[in-house]
Amino acid sequence: MAKLISHVTALFIVVVLVCAFVPAFSVEEAEAKSLWDTCLVKITPKCALNIIAVVFGNGTLIESCCKDLVQEGKVCHDNLIKYIADRPSLIGRETQYLKKRDDVWSHCISISKTA
């Protein structure tokens, strides 16, 4: 009987822990999806892909995309790039991507001021 009570207690603790942490993870994902949906409507798919190629690869920035990027806003740009950079397959290179993100932003701001 004591063994059964011990198993039930352990099961109860596991259920409580799962219930405590699972909603926190789903809220984080819901916020990320909301941000993603809100920010991506401010930039054309062509420009979004171009900027991602520049930050995460060896793409060449299309200057006309700078207007879209500046219109999207720094908060959206920063959060979207960080969201992608935080993917497990990119772990260890976040600093490199965040620097490229900032370089792209600075370049686009300088272009938009001269235009």
Asked whether residue 58 falls in the same domain as residue 33, the answer is no
Residue 50 and residue 35 share a domain: no
Angle (deg, nearest 10), helices 2-40 and 74-85? 140
Q: 108 phi and psi, to 5 degrees?
A: -65, -40
Asked whether residue 56 falls in the same domain as residue 88, the answer is yes
Give the pLDDT band of residue 13 (cuts 50, 70, 90).
very low
Cβ-based neighbour number of residue 39 at 10 Å? 19
30 and 49 part of one domain: no
Residues 25 and 45 in one domain: no
Judge contact between 8 and 49, C-beta under 8 A: no
Among the residue ranges 22-31, 63-72, 73-82, 103-112, the one predicted with the least confidence is 22-31
Total number of domains in the chain: 2
d(CA 70, CA 78): 12
Segment 85-102, tens digit of pLDDT: 888 888 888 889 999 999
Q: How confident is the model at residue 114 (pLDDT cuts 50, 70, 90)?
A: confident
Specify whether 75 is located in the same domain as 57.
Answer: yes
The number of beta carbons lying within 10 Å of the beta carbon of residue 105 is 19
Same domain, 60 and 107: yes
